[in-house]
Amino acid sequence: MPSISWLEAFGYAASVVVAISLMMGSLLKLRWWNLVGASAFALYGLLIHAYPVAVLNGFIALADVYYLIQMYRRREHFQAIALDEASPYLAAVLEAHREEIARLFPGFQAGASGRLGLCVLRDLAPASFLLGTPAEDGTLDIDLDYALPPYRDLRPGGFLFQEARHRFQERGLRLLRARTADHAHGDYLRKVGFQETEPQTFLLELT
């Protein structure tokens, strides 16, 4: 079996990065991954003297840079509003993402009574949903904390748990508790301010 050169390996790697970029649910992540892949492909085109490949991918990389700058400069408006668990829209969201929600929150059951519900709006578009069960000691056990795929850049969660934490405090809550066995969701919780106090248990004090 003939071996491939480092140059061919570099070209294959660039192809993989571009393919990965197209699998991103977040537009921001898509742009970053595509920028890396297109830049690598442009360099690959130069190295093999395939100048049309280099020019095309160089243009794509510049377009990615332009749109990334626009995305970071754009000032989005976030708002946390009360969420009615009986909302038909929420029911549609839960049904559409049933498999992923079951994986991330295996114990979650819709329709429980007495839960706190919040929805984060991003430029008035629903971005993420939180349902939690309050306890008498001021702890909220988070049953569901789900962001729609286009909005998974930490900003809805960061807004809810940092800038909008008064929405919890005004209900007498002083501690948020989330449990997850999913590694990626655990990373998300750490990045938005939670601390892992026990294996698979994360806490956020609302002080």
Q: Write the pLDDT tens digit of every residue in 52-70.
A: 999 999 999 999 999 999 8
* pLDDT number for residue 2: 61
User: For the residues 12-25, what does the mean pLDDT come to?
Assistant: 88
- The rounded mean pLDDT for the chain is 92
Sheet-wide strand order for 78-82: 78-82, 116-122, 125-134, 139-147, 175-179, 201-205, 195-198
Model pLDDT, residue 1: 45
Residue 115 contacts residue 132 (beta carbons within 8 Å): yes
Q: What is the DSSP letter of 135?
A: -
Is residue 112 over pLDDT 50? yes
Query: Which residue, 45, 18, 42, 43, is CA-closest to 31?
Result: 18
Q: What is the arithmetic mean of pLDDT over 17-46?
A: 90
108 pLDDT more than 80: yes
Q: What average pLDDT does the segment 120-134 reach?
A: 96
Average pLDDT over residues 14-21: 90
pLDDT of residue 3: 65
Asked if the model's pLDDT at residue 33 lies above 80, the reply is: yes
Residue with tokens 């989005």: 76
Name the percent of the chain lying above pLDDT 90: 76
- In this prediction, residues 64-84 reach a mean pLDDT of 90
pLDDT of residue 26: 77
CA nearest 159: which of 84, 100, 76, 86? 76
Contact 143, 179 (CB under 8 A): no
Q: What percent of the chain has pLDDT over 70?
A: 99
Give pLDDT, residue 189. Answer: 96
